[in-house]
Amino acid sequence: MILVYSHKITPRLTYIFRQIFVRILELPVSFTSTIEKFISHSGPKFSYTKQPLGNEFFIKSHKLLFQQGVQEIEFEIEKWKGLPAFFKTGSESRLPYDVFAASFYLISRYEEYLPHIKDELGSYTPYQSLAYKNSFLEKPIVDLWAVRLKDQLNSFFPDLSHVSWKKPKFLPLISVVNPFLYKKKSLLFHLSDFISFVWKLDFFLIAEQFLVLFGLKKDPYDNFDELEKLFKELNIHPQYFFLFTKNPNFERGLSIYKTAYRELVKHVADYNKVSLLVSYDAQNDSSILSKERKFLKKLIHQKILSVRFNYGLFSSAKAYYGLISEELEEDYSMGYNDVIGYRASTAVPFYFYDLNIDLQTSLKINPVVATEEGMRKFSDHRAFRKLKEMYEGLSTRSSFHIISVSNSILTKDNMKNSWRDQFLNYLHYHAK
């Protein structure tokens, strides 16, 4: 047990220390503001305060963990042996930067509470984030700082327990908006697609549409049996998220009243973990979220405790309040839809900290490093090579490598589908 002394034990302090020690480094930690208790402790200990008490392991604290509310904070990004860092401490401190305050700033998504520009959907854009501007979006910098802290503690306390290494966990998410490309769509969608194909003079798609609609060819997006067989052979356990809304027109999805769609969802839920892909309307209205959740629960007869937002996370605070009010337990939306990287600068799951009331909530956040949309900003080879490099760069066994793709990634077309091939190779790379 590591004992931490500070002049004031705040919710922010206990939150980020437990995240770093317990969830990232898998080390138990306790806290005290009583000097006598700290001095008498015989195990590993260090002080996190303004001045050292003696010759103990000391980290000079930044004011952030002792504040309340959200305020503009000025700081500079510097290099710490190749890693970006901020909140400089000074010569007395065992670490040159306050990694606890800096980690809290990133994981709490502090910058998203500050004034910022939103895109047309109302989302926080990655291009204004500290991580993107300073070129560490693709690094789980909080986890890397934590490992450096552990190295320093091991040097100071040789008897500190060591955690055996094992590969970080890989979790693919299958986000299903369109289970079929042509089948079961409305006449309006068929006409819209047909006109689009004619305008582009894409005769292959014109022919394919007719063949599928007349039952002469399998729908190219109907890959669920193949996915099931593939994951079973590779011993990979995915999680499926289905859009399940009464009004899917904005997403161009299928209505929950389509019998074929309902049968598909039930079939997948028989063999896999199935959760809700929250619609655009439901992210903005918790009453719609509640209905979508009830519809899906009634169909598959399973508890729906985790969700993912179809259009990505718009606003951490607003969106997560809706999930908390619904007593949902986990979210799989902490990432950016259009770029690859770590939105909260960590690959380790954490709990949502509500800066408006300065308290940790019960909602568990699972960081998603890449979506298919973001991956397709690159060539297929480069996208999966980048993901492999990022996976191999994960520094702790508590890390999760979570990616989200659609069922359509396995689509076969008239040409060689290299995205399909690269995805299959990537799954084999992660096979257990």
DSSP symbols for 100-151:
HHHHHHHHTTHHHHSS--B-TTSPBPGGGSHHHHTT-TTS-HHHHHHHHHHH
Reply yes or no on whether the pLDDT at 279 is more than 80.
yes
Given a cut of 60, whether residue 170 has pLDDT beyond it is: yes
pLDDT reported for residue 192: 61
What type of residue is 105?
Answer: Y
Site of tokens 């994981």: 107
Query: What average pLDDT does range 261-280 have in this prediction?
Result: 94
In this prediction, residues 47-66 reach a mean pLDDT of 95
- Model pLDDT, residue 118: 86
The more confidently predicted of residues 181 and 307 is: 307
CA distances from 331 to 276, 305, 322 (A): 10, 9, 11
How many angstroms separate the Cα of 350 from the Cα of each of 48, 241, 252?
A: 22, 20, 33
Q: Output the pLDDT for position 193.
A: 59
Q: Do 205 and 411 form a contact (C-beta atoms < 8 A)?
A: no
**Using CA atoms, how far apart are residues 243 and 252, in angstroms rounded to an integer?**
10
Q: Which residue has the higher pLDDT, 218 or 326?
A: 326
Contacts of 183 by beta carbon, 8 Å cutoff, 6+ apart: 212, 213, 219, 222, 260
User: How confident is the model at residue 185, as a pLDDT?
Assistant: 60
Q: What is the pLDDT averaged over residues 91-118? A: 94
Ramachandran bin of 152, using left for φ above 0, alpha for ψ from -120 to 50, beta for the remaining angles: alpha
- 184 confidence band (pLDDT: 50, 70, 90): low
CB 138 within 8 A of CB 342: yes
* Average pLDDT of the segment spanning 14-32: 97
Tokens at residue 89, please? 């401490």
Packing angle between helix 99-107 and helix 141-156, nearest 10 degrees? Answer: 160
- What strands, in cross-sheet order, belong to the sheet with 239-243? 350-354, 359-367, 330-334, 306-309, 273-278, 239-243, 169-176, 400-405, 370-371
Considering only CA atoms, which of 279, 360, 359 is closest in space to residue 319?
279
> In this structure, are residues 355 and 315 in contact, taking their beta carbons and an 8 Å threshold?
no
Least reliable range by pLDDT among 8-12, 28-32, 90-94: 90-94
Shortest CA distance to 414 belongs to which of 241, 220, 224? 220
Rounded to whole angstroms, the Cα distance separating 164 from 424 reads: 30
8 burial (CB, 10 Å; 0-12 / 13-18 / 19+) is exposed
Two structure tokens written together for 207 = 């022919």
pLDDT for residue 331 is more than 90: yes
Instruction: Give 197-212 pLDDT, tens digit per residue.
Output: 556 666 556 665 556 6
- Note the pTM of the prediction, 2 decimals: 0.92
Higher local confidence (pLDDT), 412 or 385: 385
| Pairing outcome for strands 400-405 and 29-32 | unpaired
**Integer angstrom CA distances of residue 341 from 135, 323, 374:** 10, 24, 9
Phi, psi of 99 (to 5 degrees): -70, -20
Measuring CA to CA, which residue among 302, 287, 299 is closest to residue 256?
A: 299
Residue 215: band (very low, low, confident or very high) from pLDDT cuts 50, 70, 90: low
The token pair that represents 86 in the structure block: 């901020």
Q: Quote the DSSP letter at residue 38.
A: H
Give the pairing of strands 306-309 and 330-334: parallel
Contact 404, 372 (CB under 8 A): yes
Task: Give the residue with greater pLDDT, 39 vs 196.
Answer: 39
Q: Is the pLDDT of residue 315 over 90?
A: no
Between CA 45 and CA 398, with CA 66 as vertex, the angle to 5 degrees is 55
Q: How far apart are CA 236 and CA 178, in angstroms?
A: 23
